Structure 1
Amino acid sequence: MITVDFLPQTAFIFLLVFSRIAAMLMLMPALGESSIPAQARLIMALLFSLIMMPLVAGNYSTLPETVPSLVFMVVYEIVVGLFIGGAARLTMSALHVAGNIIALQMSLAFAQNVDPTQGMQGVMIANFLSLLAVTLIFATGLDHLLIAAMRDSYEIFRPGAAFPVGDFTQMVVKTVSGAFRLGLQLAAPFLVFGLVFYLGIGILSRLMPQIQIFFIAMPANIGLGLILLMLLLGAMMTWFLQSFEQTISMFVG
């Protein structure tokens, strides 16, 4: 006689694994971009859940007897997934900080278009850096690190454990401050460039007031800024990828 007594426990484990993986993919850069169709992301979450389920099934207890206990476990998995995916997404926001500062220094702050990685409008420099970062994440194999973080997160945040509210809060503060600091560091050469450029323009306007400074400053600012961006782009993205790898490595055992 064939029995199906294992089905409730199997469905319970799959539900919890899917809750964590889907929450991660919803926010993770590269794997969870809003430009990817929702159906494709759903299928990706289901496939990852099926792959992860045999690897992490031993971390789960038996099916709880009460509905509140089941709801608590599902909510815990969703919160952990959102936390890990959000940490990766916050690191990506460093490029938006840097891009907005760079665009401001280059007089391109009003040149905006739709950012497919954020689903909203943004300055062109920030959008370019974000798309380049997603491309480099796949090109350098860091997407494999994101998948490893999915698996190893079960060793760091064990299912059914108490909410590590203190650790979550500390990590959020550290990640947000680190992303803002990284954005400023990436844009630091352009802050110096803007200061020197406008200082030079001010001195020139004093020495030669008959020159139409506005018609000279705008194209010169954009042209020199683009040349500086071309020279520094490789170093900027290398620095960003190292910081991104360090952030994700915190969730890899």
Structure 2
Amino acid sequence: MVLATFVLFCRIGACLMVMPGFSNPRVPVNIRLFLAFAITLALTPLLSGSIEASASEAAPIALMLILVSEIGIGALIGVLGRAFFEALATLTNMIAMAIGLASPLKGPMDESEPSPAVASLVALAATTLFFLTDLHWEVLRGLVASYAALPVSAYFNPQFSLIQVSECLSKSFLIALRISSPFVIYSLIVNLAIALAAKLTPQIPVYFISMPAVVAGGLFLLYVACKQFLEQFLAAFSTWLATG
């Protein structure tokens, strides 16, 4: 039973150390460790039956391969979930540049480096909604279901993992580009208008004069589109959690 619990902890702990929300650097490492251990103990009665036989009968080398494989599978699940939030962070940095707010850097929400204020705000909102909409329970449900799709005896498959990562990156960046498309269009229109005005009146520093209006328009667009922005992102992320 102890060995089966440790095997479960390898997958669950590796997943939670990478999964968004749970792996936030603002949460102390010991809290994350105890949380992963508590979740493992809660799921052990449900999952240990099929693992005890494989773990107890395995030779020492085979047992080490099982542990490494479980860590790899758990990290893969966490990386797939994190891909959505990384895509969102990338596109929100682009949004900050599009509306002229890329310069003021704020403390990071989910990373170790400073980011624009808009990116930190959207990351904070997405992480908060991740817990408020109970998607963290979907993560645990997915972990339980992963033992049926990827049993302990199947081992870690690098080719399968690369395919899953590439597909998840494609989906996540596609949804992130879709929800940030209004800001891309806004940036193109505003910069084209400023360029034409600068050509027509070269004596006036149009770019510097127009910056407050560009920022105000971008903030108003963010205010109008923020609700749909986050709803579409969470809908795509919850769909992946339910079916991925």
Question: Please, what TM-score do these two structures have when normalized by structure 1?
Answer: 0.90
SS in 1 for 2:114: strand
Partner amino acid for 1:219? P
For the Cα contact (< 8 Å) 1:111–1:123, is it kept in 2?
Answer: yes
Contact 2:72-2:156 at 8 Å conserved across structures: no
Aligned to 2:28: 37
Moved more, 24-33 or 175-184: 175-184
1:76–1:160 contact (8 Å) kept in structure 2: no
Q: Which residue in the other structure is 2:41 paired with?
A: 50
Any stretches of 5+ residues in structure 2 without a counterpart?
A: none
Aligned pairs for 1:100-139 (under 5 A) are: 100-139=93-132
Q: Secondary structure at the match of 2:152?
A: coil
Using the alignment, how far apart are the partners of 2:69 and 2:110 within structure 1? 27
Q: Match of 1:90, as an amino acid?
A: A
Verify: 1:201 aligned to 2:177, yes or no.
no
**Whole-angstrom distance in 1 between the partners of 2:138 and 2:155:** 26
Larger radius of gyration: 1
The answer for unaligned runs of 5 or more in structure 1 is 1-9
Amino acid at match of 1:19: C
**Partner residue, 1:14:** 5
Residues 28-84 of structure 1: CA distance to partner in whole angstroms, max 9, x if unpaired? 112221211111111101100001100001221241352111101101110110010
* Native 8 Å contact 2:70 2:156 kept in 1: no
Give the match's secondary structure for 2:107.
Answer: strand
1:147 aligns with 2:115: no
What is the CA-CA distance between 1:233 and the residue it aligns to? 0.4
1:80 aligns with 2:73: yes
Whether the aligned pair in 2 keeps the contact of 1:91 and 1:247 (CA below 8 Å) is: no
Deviation at 1:215, TM superposition (A): 3.1
4+ aligned runs moved over 6 Å, structure 1: none
The answer to whether residue 184 in structure 2 is matched with residue 191 in structure 1 is yes
Report what 1:160 is aligned to: 153
Report which of the two has the higher share of helix.
2
Tell me how far 1:210 sits from its aligned partner.
4.2
Tell me which residue corresponds to 1:217.
210
Whether 1:173 and 2:181 are equivalent positions in the alignment is: no
Task: Report the residue type matching 2:38 in the other structure.
Answer: L
The one-letter code matched in structure 2 to 1:123 is P
Question: Are 1:226 and 2:219 counterparts?
Answer: yes
Matched-pair contact (CA < 8 Å) for 2:105–2:115: yes
Contact 1:97–1:184 (8 Å) recurs in 2: no
The count of aligned residue pairs is: 242
Q: Which amino acid aligns with 1:37?
A: P
Offset at 1:107? 2.0
Amino acid at match of 2:75: L
How much does 1:85 deviate? 0.7
Q: Distance in 1 between matches of 2:84 and 2:187?
A: 25
